[in-house]
Amino acid sequence: MPEGHSVHRIALQFERDFVGHTAAVSSPQGRFAEGAAEIDGLRMLSSRAIGKQMFLELENDRWLRIHLGLYGAWEFFGTVSSINEESETYGSIGAPRRRRAVRMAENDTEKPSDFDTFPPEPVGQVRVRLVTDETVADLRGPTACEVIDSAQVALAIEKLGPDPADDSSKAAEDRFVKRIRTKPTPIGLLLMDQSVVAGIGNVYRAELLFRARLDPHTPGKAISVPRLRALWQDWVYLLDIGIRTGMMLTRDGLSPAEQKKAVRSRADRYWVYKREGLPCLVCGTNILLEEMGARKLYWCPKDQKLPRNVTR
């Protein structure tokens, strides 16, 4: 399932290539024909991501709400702007240019395309297609796709926990701390609860807990306020890296050679995620794998011990 950084990057793509433009909207698949007709020909006014949900604002108080879920993805064709920072470490996906396709889901990757006509013919089950004079965006396989108004947008956002890429204020941090401190639920479950904090998925959950040296089974109410504030600030830090680079890079202190290796291989970007049975990179203890909240959880039983005064 796409994690928060991916959805923010998709929102940035829309901000750069669609906001301010009128879009022709259709549903090649047919399943969204009524909604597409409602917003066809309207100008896009803004693009916003909160957690794993994205909201595209159009004229006449029409909003397109998208939740990609497990299988959803956007694909962009035509003139597609770069959203990667220019840097020697991470590189760039390039300047805007024609005849290009970019698929954006949990791991967005550039796939050169050689279509002869613009817009290219839709391929596969395209739920929604948006077309400007220069750019096409095709949506496939979302969990949610609906046209709503601003009041409904406010209600949807109200149900979500804070997202530091949308609001990194002290008030947002306080909400995060308060929501966790009032619950006996294990922190490993709370971090995946989108009403507690928006955008964290399986990778970031495992990595944040390891970086904080927190046992995933620790009850939220048993974690001190300073540790929770540090956890929030680390989420701010990691999410920013993810949005800027398109990678969930969670290991710090890498040498230049290790950094290049991590950029090339996802397996070298993480402390514990998908490293079950392998030695912990800090203490050498084998990383454990268990199921928590119907998702796989990876953690180190030595570096992430429960405090002596806390029981599961």
Q: What is the pLDDT of residues 239-262, one digit of tens each?
A: 999 999 888 999 988 888 888 888
Predicted confidence band of residue 108 (pLDDT cuts 50, 70, 90): very low
The position carrying tokens 């966790």 is: 180
pLDDT the model gives residue 114? 55
- Binned at pLDDT 50, 70 and 90, residue 104 comes out as low
Give the pLDDT mean for 2-30: 94
pLDDT > 90: percent of the chain: 71
Of 90 and 191, which is predicted with more confidence?
Answer: 191
pLDDT of residue 309 exceeding 70, the answer is no
Second CATH level (architecture) for the domain 163-299: Orthogonal Bundle (1.10)
Quickly state the pLDDT bin for 3 (edges 50, 70, 90): confident
- pLDDT, residue 202, reads 94
Average pLDDT over residues 56-71: 95
CATH class of 4-157: alpha beta
With a cut of 90, say whether residue 60 has pLDDT above it.
yes
What pLDDT is recorded for position 105? 54
What is the rounded average pLDDT of the residues 151-164?
A: 97
What is the per-residue pLDDT across 194-225, written as a single tens digit (0 to 9) for each?
A: 999 999 999 999 999 999 999 999 999 999 99
Across residues 264-281, what is the average pLDDT?
93
Which residues are identified as catalytic? 2-3, 52, 295
Per domain, the residue ranges of the chain are 4-157, 163-299
More confident residue, 117 or 52: 52
What is the average pLDDT score of the chain? 88
